[in-house]
């Protein structure tokens, strides 16, 4: 049984569905419900399995998200760098636009 | 005390109903090995036992059954044979109990069922010993004016032990879960039978757990009934918790029985006594 089967959800389930299934399962096998039942130990074992399954799903989700995050982060930061560099370059007056030259011409171009 | 553990047909899917019917017809056919006429004594409770045993099945279709007059599906496996033998033994003891309670009409079918009973007892000697010794112990407890809970627990133990015998091929965890489930259902059966037969028993001056409770705890009829309700509610609540730990292919039918049928029956029987019962 994989982690998704233990929680009774589809492998394509989103974060909210996973969380709901986890909370429902915890409520179902909570030791307080089984306090007068001779199968309390089995319920506890089941709860442990559920916690482990949920942890595994979370860890996998984070691991999958890291490369994507890195990619997004690098793309964003590169774009920001380029924008900043362009702005700096524009403000330096080196290669300024035509309209600037027309008004404040210093004889550079 | 037979025939209480049956599904609530209104809440069953057609496929589940067919599956249940297959088990029913299979046990009926398997009972034919011991007796032909005795097949009318087939009880729903032993079908539940076969469902719980959850063994692999190879379904075959018969050309037509004389008793139910239609083409039915059936199967053969060890749990079906076991349930059939248990049914014959239980039916024999039920008739014996009816005679002891003064029902003279039961003596004829009891005589007719004697040879099939012997055959079934030879086929399943352990089951016969469990039923015989447990019923004797319950009878003794009832005569000694014990607390009705003790007799109910003894009946629950008998059901649990009978279930354990049907689970020989299953793993330890499954056996444990099924055994506890059968125990709580057994306790419930004892109380529901006492409530349902209360009127008849009080008229004929026979033993009844409710009358016992009224005498021991010096309670009124209403208070004793409320006590029985509490006991049934407790047994059903625990049975539902155990059900959540059960993993088998007949789960949906077993769930239907425990979640819908047994509470519905409780509500119906208690309703006749003017007591309200809320579904859990």
- What residues does each domain of chain A span? 3-103
* Contact between B241 and A39 using a beta-carbon 8 Å cutoff: yes
Q: Which chain B residue lies closest to A47 (C-alpha atoms)? A: B245
Q: Which chain A residue lies closest to B239 (C-alpha atoms)? A: A37
- What residues does each domain of chain B span? 9-272
Percent helix, strand, coil in chain A (nearest 5)? 70, 0, 30
Q: Nearest C-alpha of chain B: how many angstroms from A2? A: 16
The residue length of chain B stands at 280
Half-sphere exposure of B37 (CA within 13 A, CB side): 9
Q: By mean pLDDT, which of A22-36, A90-104, B108-122, B227-241 is the weakest?
A: A90-104
Does residue B118 belong to the interface with chain A, where contact is any CB pair within 8 Å?
no
pLDDT of amino acid A99: 47
Q: Nearest C-alpha of chain B: how many angstroms from A37? A: 7
pLDDT of amino acid B268: 92
Please tell me the CATH code under which domain B9-272 is placed: 1.10.600.10
Counting Cβ atoms within 10 Å, is residue A108 exposed (0-12), middle (13-18) or buried (19+)?
A: exposed
User: In this predicted model, what pLDDT tens digit does every residue of A53-70 receive, in sequence order?
Assistant: 999 999 888 888 777 777
Does residue B240 belong to the interface with chain A, where contact is any CB pair within 8 Å?
no
Q: Report pTM.
A: 0.83
| Residues B183-205 as b or e (16 or more Cβ within 10 Å = b) | bbbbbbbbbbbbbbbbeebeeee
The residue length of chain A stands at 109
Top pLDDT among A7 and B1 is at A7
Q: Nearest C-alpha of chain A: how many angstroms from B18? A: 26
| Residues B46-83 as b or e (16 or more Cβ within 10 Å = b) | bbbbbbbbbbebeeeeeeebeeeeeebbbbebebbbbb
Q: Which of residues 155-194 of B touch A (CB under 8 A)?
A: 173, 176-177, 180
Residues of A in Cβ contact (< 8 Å) with B241? 33-34, 37, 39, 43
Say yes or no: domain A3-103 is CATH 1.10.287.110: yes
* Contact between B242 and A39 using a beta-carbon 8 Å cutoff: yes
Q: Nearest C-alpha of chain A: how many angstroms from B149? A: 16
Q: What is the pLDDT along chain B (280 residues), one digit of tens a residue?
A: 788 999 999 999 999 998 999 899 889 889 988 888 778 888 899 999 999 987 776 667 776 676 676 777 788 888 899 999 999 999 999 988 888 877 777 777 877 888 999 999 999 999 999 999 999 999 898 888 788 889 999 999 999 999 999 888 888 999 999 999 999 999 999 999 999 988 888 888 888 888 888 888 888 888 889 999 999 999 999 999 999 999 888 999 999 999 999 999 999 999 988 888 876 5
* Contact between B241 and A34 using a beta-carbon 8 Å cutoff: yes
């Amino acid at each position: 049984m994989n982690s998704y089967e233990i929680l009774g959800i589809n492998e394509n389930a989103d974060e909210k569905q996973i969380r709901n299934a986890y909370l429902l399962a915890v409520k179902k096998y909570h030791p307080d419900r089984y306090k007068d039942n001779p199968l309390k130990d089995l319920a506890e074992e089941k709860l442990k399995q559920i916690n482990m399954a949920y942890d595994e799903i979370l860890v996998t989700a984070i691991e999958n998200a890291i490369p994507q995050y890195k990619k997004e982060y690098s793309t964003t930061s590169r774009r920001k760098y380029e924008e900043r560099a362009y702005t700096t370059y524009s403000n330096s007056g080196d290669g300024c636009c035509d309209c600037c030259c027309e008004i404040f011409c210093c004889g550079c171009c | 005390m037979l025939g209480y553990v049956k599904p609530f047909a209104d809440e069953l899917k057609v496929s589940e109903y067919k599956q249940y019917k297959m088990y029913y017809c299979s046990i009926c056919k398997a009972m034919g090995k011991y007796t032909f006429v005795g097949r009318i004594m087939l009880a729903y409770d032993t079908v539940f036992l076969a469902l719980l045993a959850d063994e692999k099945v190879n379904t075959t279709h018969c050309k037509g059954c004389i008793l139910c007059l239609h083409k039915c599906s059936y199967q053969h496996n060890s749990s079906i044979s076991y349930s059939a033998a248990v049914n014959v033994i239980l039916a024999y003891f039920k008739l014996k109990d009816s005679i002891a309670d003064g029902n003279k009409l039961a003596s004829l079918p009891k005589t007719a069922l004697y040879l099939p009973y012997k055959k079934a007892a030879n086929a399943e000697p352990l089951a016969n010993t469990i039923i015989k010794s447990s019923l004797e112990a319950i009878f003794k407890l009832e005569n000694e004016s014990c607390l009705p809970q003790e007799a109910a627990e003894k009946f629950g133990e008998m059901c649990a032990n009978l279930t354990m015998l049907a689970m020989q091929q299953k793993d330890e965890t499954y056996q444990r879960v099924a055994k506890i489930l059968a125990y709580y259902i057994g306790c419930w059966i004892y109380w529901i039978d006492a409530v349902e037969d209360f009127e008849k028993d009080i008229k004929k001056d026979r033993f009844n757990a409710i009358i016992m409770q009224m005498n021991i705890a010096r309670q009124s009829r209403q208070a004793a009934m409320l006590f029985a309700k509490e006991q049934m509610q407790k047994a059903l609540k625990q049975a539902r918790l155990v059900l959540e730990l059960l993993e088998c292919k007949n789960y949906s039918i077993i769930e239907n029985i425990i979640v819908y049928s047994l509470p519905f029956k409780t509500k119906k029987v208690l309703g006749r006594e003017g007591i309200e019962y809320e579904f859990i």
